[in-house]
Amino acid sequence: ERQVALDSGIPAIAEHGGKIIYTNTDKIILLGNGYTQSIPLLMYQRSNKNTCLHQKSQVPQGKCIKKGQILADGAATVGGELALGKNVLVVYMPWEGYNSEDAVLIS
């Protein structure tokens, strides 16, 4: 489930290690070794399927992070993992290849 969430592109991931110097609903600012990186967060943006894309910051201000750590989650992810329900057995299966017709099947 983690790889599915990461491949969706919805979670914001730290490209470098450093310290979070500012965070709010619009952006996260990361201070690294001699550089400052601003990571914009999606806020109610329209997707290709006419759904809503939204990211929520998961790191507090002042926290030190490592490269590859999850900074923000989307609507269907928690901690960078796919989270579609509670106590449900979920199977992810490609349907005729990885395209817009992928399916999530619940058994």
pLDDT digits (tens, 9 = 90+) for 28-87: 999 998 889 999 999 988 888 888 889 999 999 999 999 999 999 988 888 888 887 665
From residue 66, how far is each of 49, 59, 61, 103, 104 by CA, in Å? 33, 12, 14, 33, 31
Higher pLDDT, 19 or 84: 19
pLDDT band of residue 24 (cuts 50, 70, 90) is very high
Whether 91 shows a pLDDT value over 90: the answer reads no
Q: How confident is the model at residue 59, as a pLDDT?
A: 94
Q: What is the b/e burial string over 9-24, where b = at least 16 CB atoms within 10 angstroms of the residue's CB?
A: ebbbebeeebebeebe
Q: Is the pTM of this model over 0.85?
A: no
Nearest CA among 2, 17, 29, 1 for reference residue 68: 17
Nearest CA among 59, 91, 71, 66 for reference residue 10: 71
Q: How confident is the model at residue 28, as a pLDDT?
A: 96
All domains of the chain, ordered by start, with CATH?
2-106 (2.40.50.100)
